[in-house]
Structure 1
Amino acid sequence: MITGSGEDSPVAGADVKGADGASVTSAYGTGSAQTVTAGGVSIAGLYGTLVLHSDGSYTYTRAAGTPGNVDDVFHYTLTDGDGDQSQTTLTLHIGNAGVTVTPPATGTAADTVYEAGLVNGSQQGNTQTVASGTIAVTAPDGVGSITVGGQTVALNGTHTTIPDGTRGSLDVWWNGSAIQYQYTLQHNYLESPATNNGQDLEAQPQFAVVVTDQDGSVGNGALTINIVDDQPTA
């Protein structure tokens, strides 16, 4: 008798109405029992909301940020035409989803800074020494923790500053849906060989990004900052 849509399929089998016919008359999840009508009633569960109708049809909507690989259990009562009742449960399984971390493409304005823009650089003030952007995060089961460059990033929007040796620093924070960052170049980097002007491949600081969701699934990525070498002009 129970039929519906939502997260995966119900674990329990179908109900049998019996010779006297039956309908769903009451149900509850995490709260007290509610009367079920033909128009449907909204019932709160641990991980989402069930809208259940007296004919047994339902719709389940998962709450955002809840973990995966869990069951949401609802209890309901069937009542037939002469008042006989039967109590049982509807168990909805929420599947496990992975985590995806997507840094910006390498070599864009979002991750490139120039030594030429530093104090005493060949183009001081005319080229950027600060790069900022967004690291996209897809975590259907909710974000549990974030580390960047081995340091924990708070989930309340607090900024975390990560030193990059003597070159500069990376400022990161979680905006509720993605990781925001800003890299500031503060000093030049003396590369070897010194004749390698242009793109400074020896000064590409890389920061590991690790996002763990609420049920333990892990997504990995890396933010690479391109530091472009300054060169003298005759």
Structure 2
Amino acid sequence: MRILIVEDEPKTAAYVRKGLTEQGYVVDVASDGFDGLHLATTSNYDLVLLDVMLPGLNGWELLEGLRERQATPVLFLSARDEVEDRVKGLKLGADDYLVKPFAFSELLARVQNILRRAPQQREQPLRFADLEVDPLRRRVSRAGDRIDLTGKEYALLNYFMRHAGEICSRTLIAENVWDMNFDSDTNVVDVAVRRLRSKIDDPYAQKLIHTIRGVGYVFDVRSP
């Protein structure tokens, strides 16, 4: 799932982005209202986290512009804690309003709650061989066995399943799962794949993650 953060305070944006990325979400950041509205209306986001006080367009104006075009869920993150502000945000079409400062655990709970009830998030489970991923509940099972994954392992598996049969280079994996440029001197991708394999492949005869030497990996069914 993709989330857009529209926040002009760099530390807050970095804090929220890091936390959500660790939970397996793909996160983009815009630092002003104009860029935020452009991204929100030209890309497919599952949720927008929106500050009120922004350069260019403020959060109220951005939300009004967004609601003229689409119904992407919006969660306000604002230091404005007056009841009138919260009511205004909800009346303009926001799905929730969280006052700064906030605990990340509360933000995450609100994000998950919005995504659970958003109609566009009612995706069908992803199935490949005897492996199943439920995107709504973020549950993974193989051959009927429940498998517990970390946020990053879940994001990696989700990427593999959506590109089953394709050769996934380490560069593409790093860009899409870690949102970073791949450094050939780091083994972050290989370590993550090894950990994922230990959970979804090692206990089973049929292997799904296969190494393409010198390139990356392919998620496919092959003989044991």
The TM-score range, normalised by the shorter chain, is: under 0.3
More helix by share: 2
More strand by share: 1
- Higher RCO, 1 vs 2 (CA within 8 Å, ≥6 residues apart): 1
Rg comparison, structure with higher value = 1
